[in-house]
Structure 1
């Protein structure tokens, strides 16, 4: 080596000042703030199981408890097995009642007019008529259903309407019931009715016709026959409409219609 020459060093053997500074810094100082994407292997991803899995696991843990719970199909089969015998029983009872009604031939009820009273309130004429229904059958009761209508006529002209009541009548029984016939204020009363309600001496007789359409059933115990329609007609004559009306003559008839 020549005198006064500066000794030379290999570049790779001696690190530079920048490299020494970076080496002296801790490892955490090499990361800066920002957004990073972290990739995780698929076999380390854990998922939350759906709620259905919990129900399945519960069934496996408690098989005895699950046995008491029947599925919808079993419930349907059970309900069908219960309803079907009831339907068959109802059909059999209806058939028996129909056979009884045909073979025994129940009689129609008999009607009679008991009392007639005339009122006139607020220009609306009212006829309060009481009738008696007699059931001549020895084993059949009669059920008078809803929907029965009645009308009152004078000389084949309707002057008032009413409703037939609903009630049950036992065998060999007589029942008294009332029907309130109401007229309209638009209907002009016939002259005979005006005279009969105002004149007591001499009394003025008046004749009426009552028509009733009644829906009924024959009954033996818990057995009911099919519905039948009864057409009832009564022709009667009263001595007066003023006071203490008395029925002079009457005739009632009952017909059964299909």
Structure 2
């Protein structure tokens, strides 16, 4: 009987734990003893971009605005200082005016139903300034009004008024007004009360002289509210009340 040799193969235990052998990644370096060399993880460098510069055009505009505002402020300071110095040196005062007399040369109703009026007015102009002269230029006007109707108007003379000077003026005013019959009736009815309100308006272009320097033209605007007793022609009219206000207009 032939003996058959039986080979016994080792049985592999499937449920046995895997050997605790350190895993070496493929392609990793090893030391001379065969053990793997631990490599540091690769570090990735991300470039940091600087923020974009602001638009150049906007920067230039901001600089221009700042320079402009600064220049305006400096000019205003210089102007204010100049005006302050001039005021302290010259001490300017408004001229004073008064109505001395008012006379009616003619007041009649024409055939075309317009009202014709002719007034003679005497005015006193007083310049109280010690260092300021006044040039009364051409184009000055003086007018007399009743309510909202202009009765007459005249031109102021052109002249120069020196320092602390008092000047007497005589101005002739003439005019024609539409709807004369209605206006004449209102004046006659008002005359019976003995108090007739009139407005005397002044519009005078003047130039101020500071020392030897003649300044630019300005305007003197004024209004005198008068109350007279009568509007009879060729008679001196009594002025019962007078309130005058004047101002400069640049």
* TM bucket normalised to smaller: 0.5 to 0.7
Root-mean-square deviation (Å):
2.7
CA distance in 2, matches of 1:107, 1:170: 13
CA distance in 2, matches of 1:140, 1:228: 14
Tell whether the 8 Å contact from 2:141 to 2:154 is kept in structure 1 after alignment.
yes
- 1:107 aligns to 2:101 (yes or no): no
Deviations 1:184-223, CA, capped at 9 Å, x for gaps: 1645143253467xx8xx7733111011111111124532
Deviations 1:75-106, CA, capped at 9 Å, x for gaps: xxxxxxxxxxxxxxxxxxxxxx9897555352
After the TM superposition, which of the residue ranges 235-244 and 113-122 deviates more from structure 2? 113-122
Q: 1:77-226 counterparts in 2 under 5 A? A: 104-120=90-106, 123=110, 124-184=116-176, 186-188=178-180, 189-194=183-188, 204-226=194-216
Q: 1:148 to 1:98 in 2, by over 3 A?
A: farther
- Partner SS state of residue 236, structure 2: coil
Q: Normalising to structure 1: TM-score of the pair?
A: 0.54
CA distance in 1, matches of 2:94, 2:86: 12
- Partner SS state of residue 190, structure 1: helix
Where does residue 248 of structure 1 map in the other structure? Answer: 240
- 1:257 aligns to 2:243 (yes or no): no
Structure number with the higher helix fraction is 1
Tell whether the 8 Å contact from 2:151 to 2:177 is kept in structure 1 after alignment.
no
Where does residue 93 of structure 1 map in the other structure? Answer: none
Q: 1:211 to 1:250 in 2, by over 3 A?
A: same
- Structure 1 stretches lacking a partner, 5+ long: 1-96
Q: Following TM superposition, by how much is the alpha carbon of 1:151 offset from its aligned partner in structure 2, in angstroms?
A: 2.0
- Partner SS state of residue 225, structure 1: strand
Q: Normalising to structure 2: TM-score of the pair?
A: 0.56
- Partner SS state of residue 184, structure 1: strand
